[in-house]
Amino acid sequence: MKTGLTKREKTTDIFFDEAGAYITVCTHNTDLKNRLSAFAAAYPAECRLVARDRETGLLEFEVKKWRLSFRLTVPYSAERRKLKANIVAAVEEFGFKIKNEEQIRSRRDFNKYIIEYPTTLSTGYLKPDLIC
């Protein structure tokens, strides 16, 4: 949506006090607007759209305080960031293939790698895939 606002002017503001039961979220962020709109549609008693500025694209929501959380994440080490690339390289070095590469995500504590490998034995003895 063209609003004429610069990226710096497209803000997300979150307001709450210790006494109230609701948090007010005012945002221009498209992803956040979509997520809050979907949540409001699914759970109208927990979240509601209270204002819309059609000129700037700003949406204002009220969300019950206990439904919104802030998550701080620790920085990942360079070693951990390289882990997926190292696993993929090792699998390719042996001539194997990762069957579920599109499901593997970086920065996860756990990933499931399904590795397809060639075998000279009949299929009755070994499973066709190795799961790591």
Mean pLDDT of 23-45: 96
The H or E element containing residue 38 is helix 30-42
pLDDT category, 120, cuts 50, 70, 90?
Answer: low
Q: Tokens at residue 71, please?
A: 């998550």
Distance linking the first and last C-alpha atoms of the chain: 45
Task: Give the single-character DSSP code of 16.
Answer: -
Calpha distance 36→26 (Å, rounded): 11
pLDDT of residue 126 exceeding 80, the answer is no
pTM: 0.59
Q: In what order do the strands lie in the sheet with 22-27?
A: 12-15, 22-27, 58-64, 47-53
Mean pLDDT of 88-113: 83
pLDDT confidence of residue 101: 82
Task: Give the single-character DSSP code of 128.
Answer: S
Q: Tokens at residue 96, please?
A: 């194997």
pLDDT of residue 70 exceeding 70, the answer is yes
pLDDT of residue 132 exceeding 60, the answer is no
- Give the side-chain half-sphere CA count within 13 A for 13: 10
pLDDT confidence of residue 110: 78
Neighbour tally for 28: CB within 10 Å: 20
Is the Cβ–Cβ distance between 123 and 116 less than 8 Å? no
Mean pLDDT of 110-131: 70
